[in-house]
Amino acid sequence: MFTIAAVAVMGGALFGSTFTAQLSATTFDVKSDVSALQKIRDMGGLELVMPAAFAATGACDDASFEGRTVVDFPLTGVSIDLPTGLAGTLHAMTFSEQIPGPTLRVTQGDVVRMTLTVPDGEPTPHGNDMHASQVTAVPTFGAVQPGTSKTFCYIAEVPGVYKYHCSGVNVAAMDQHVLQGMYGIAIVDPIDGYSKLMVEKTQVNDNGDVTRDRQFYSGDALEFSLQYNQLYITDGNYDQTKMFGHQHTLTTVNGQALGYVPNEIHNLLNNGDVNKDIFVLQPWNSMDLHQYQSQLMFTPTGVHNRIFVENQGNEPVFFHIVGEILDRVTQGNRVQSHATETWLLGGSQNMIVDIVYDEPGIYVAVNHDYAAIYTGAVSITVAGLFLPNINETATALGVVQGAVDHGSYAGVLGNPADSVPPYGPQSIHHPALNVHCMCSDAVAQAQADAGAVKLWEAIPAILAAAAEA
């Protein structure tokens, strides 16, 4: 059983030094006593408080920040309802009304100025722990009460991909807040840029010998980001018993189970019928689902892809792309592998996968744990112009521009906006984006305002115009 005393001990172990807990004598069962969390909330959380001398931790006026670029990163901690597609409504907790939260992108050496605001009326305080920082956890990540905000600053010293997450109410209920949606990533680009990519190939020489033929690609890349997690829910609420047993309800990628599979648009364009499914699992088929309708990811062949991957969850991710070999795996600023079939990410672990798709086709990124595959960890990328009907139909429709011009269907349908991180100095820009996210209508509209296409409006309008002509 999980007692407050146990939480305090855990906190002590986590933070490694002395602290005073407001609660000392009281112990109660958090799992079964629903009033326990309320008691913690009423007192403003378990205060793992250090002396006031440490109050300046994370302050933004540090002399070492002078001469550096300061990047603001505002977040709002807010509870909203979102659909899960397969398990009813999720009573989600979010950063800024989206799961995952907004992606921060900075260059190594920049100062990040993070402000977390919790609106009045939000039923619980929230916190924020950015793994890209190296700022003492206590008291920096303490609870931010409803109706208040808190700012801390740090230098992003080490390049890589880093999780950020809600730290709950001074670490109490942190599991609930994270697994109900409060997580995101920070990408810290290396100060000297990304290395060129080497891909192992072979060739037959003029004299008939088969020899190695290494191919090199510039550090510039077409970029995607994939964040893995689980939902442990009953009736839309976090179910801690399921979490303790690692019995997830759904496996999510960027907040959604099976969010990157075909939908009825692809059915129509490729099979001529919205009801003729291309793939065995298409739970987000309808255009009425708007930003929640599943979308495919697209890339041309022969182009350097850089995928930022984070395991936000509570279970391992065996990252594999069916039909491909991961050409390079980087963690932090160190290459871990040149070519590997699968790479294991433990909880709160990340990597950058570099890959070049050589052949046109359908490639499926999975967590190669069958329990994860069957519950949602399937994300499809179509490389090149593989589906001739989509090519013909979609190019003729001209939703955005011609597919042929770009060597991928992203030219007409766009890539899902939530699969593409903010651009950095070495990003190859996507020809178009479509509105897609596990997010509120306001966030979806913000994507549209930034240029992403609402396919659920564009496709029917174009089809109607085509029928009239």
User: Considering beta carbons, is residue 166 or 433 the nearer one to Cu ion?
Assistant: 166
Determine which residue in the list 105, 163, 177, 328 makes contact with Cu ion, applying CB under 5 A. Answer: 177
User: Considering beta carbons, is residue 112 or 166 the nearer one to Cu ion?
Assistant: 166
- Would you call 465 exposed, middle or buried from its count of C-beta atoms within 10 A (0-12, 13-18, 19+)? exposed
Least Cβ distance, residue 123 to Cu ion (angstroms): 10
User: Considering beta carbons, is residue 239 or 354 the nearer one to Cu ion?
Assistant: 239
Q: Is 182 annotated as a binding residue?
A: yes
User: Considering beta carbons, is residue 7 or 182 the nearer one to Cu ion?
Assistant: 182
Mark out the alpha helices in 207-294 (DSSP H runs). 240-244, 264-271
304 lies in the site for Cu ion, by CB under 5 A: no
Dist CA 12 CA 30 (whole Å): 18
């809600």: which residue's tokens? 166
Least Cβ distance, residue 274 to Cu ion (angstroms): 39
Dist CA 317 CA 320 (whole Å): 9
**In whole angstroms, what separates CA 137 from the centre of its chain?**
23
Q: How many residues bind Cu ion (CB under 5 A)?
A: 4
Q: Which stretch binds Cu ion (CB under 5 A): 108-116, 178-186, 320-328, 338-346?
A: 178-186
Q: Which of 2, 349, 24, 4 is nearest to 169 (CA)?
A: 4
269 lies in the site for Cu ion, by CB under 5 A: no
Dist CA 147 CA 117 (whole Å): 8
Q: Which of 371, 382, 396 is nearest to 459 (CA)?
A: 396
Q: Which of residues 317-376 bind Cu ion (CB under 5 A)?
A: none
The dihedral region occupied by 357, where left means phi > 0, alpha psi between -120 and 50, and beta the remainder, is: beta
Dist CA 187 CA 389 (whole Å): 37
Q: Do the Cβ atoms of 262 and 286 come closer than 8 Å?
A: no
- CB-hemisphere CA count at 13 Å for 361? 10
Least Cβ distance, residue 237 to Cu ion (angstroms): 15
Mark out the alpha helices in 264-303 (DSSP H runs). 264-271
Dist CA 305 CA 223 (whole Å): 6
Least Cβ distance, residue 177 to Cu ion (angstroms): 3
User: Considering beta carbons, is residue 79 or 393 the nearer one to Cu ion?
Assistant: 79
Q: Is 248 annotated as a binding residue?
A: no
Q: Which of 127, 178, 130, 124 is nearest to 149 (CA)?
A: 127
Dist CA 247 CA 250 (whole Å): 9
User: Considering beta carbons, is residue 81 or 273 the nearer one to Cu ion?
Assistant: 81
Q: Is 166 annotated as a binding residue?
A: yes
Least Cβ distance, residue 240 to Cu ion (angstroms): 15
User: Considering beta carbons, is residue 137 or 458 the nearer one to Cu ion?
Assistant: 137
Q: Which stretch binds Cu ion (CB under 5 A): 13-21, 49-57, 122-130, 344-352?
A: 122-130
User: Considering beta carbons, is residue 167 or 267 the nearer one to Cu ion?
Assistant: 167
Determine which residue in the list 41, 126, 150, 320 makes contact with Cu ion, applying CB under 5 A. Answer: 126
Least Cβ distance, residue 312 to Cu ion (angstroms): 14
Tally: H helices and E strands in the chain:
11, 30
CB neighbours (10 Å) of residue 334? 9
267: which 2 tokens? 């059915």
User: Considering beta carbons, is residue 126 or 306 the nearer one to Cu ion?
Assistant: 126
- Would you call 391 exposed, middle or buried from its count of C-beta atoms within 10 A (0-12, 13-18, 19+)? buried
Q: Are strands 221-231 and 304-311 parallel, antiparallel or unpaired?
A: parallel
- Would you call 287 exposed, middle or buried from its count of C-beta atoms within 10 A (0-12, 13-18, 19+)? middle
Q: Which of residues 205-234 bind Cu ion (CB under 5 A)?
A: none
Q: Which stretch binds Cu ion (CB under 5 A): 118-126, 195-203, 363-371, 418-426?
A: 118-126
Site string for Cu ion, 408-447 (x = CB under 5 A): ----------------------------------------
Q: Which of residues 152-171 bind Cu ion (CB under 5 A)?
A: 166
Q: Are strands 433-434 and 415-416 parallel, antiparallel or unpaired?
A: parallel
Q: Which stretch binds Cu ion (CB under 5 A): 100-108, 174-182, 262-270, 359-367?
A: 174-182
User: Considering beta carbons, is residue 126 or 406 the nearer one to Cu ion?
Assistant: 126
182 lies in the site for Cu ion, by CB under 5 A: yes
Least Cβ distance, residue 400 to Cu ion (angstroms): 37
Q: Do the Cβ atoms of 264 and 285 come closer than 8 Å?
A: yes
Q: Do the Cβ atoms of 64 and 153 come closer than 8 Å?
A: no
Least Cβ distance, residue 126 to Cu ion (angstroms): 3
Least Cβ distance, residue 168 to Cu ion (angstroms): 6
Q: Is 91 annotated as a binding residue?
A: no
- Write out the residues near Cu ion by the rule CB under 5 A: 126, 166, 177, 182
Binding residues for Cu cation: 126, 131, 165-166, 177, 182, 368
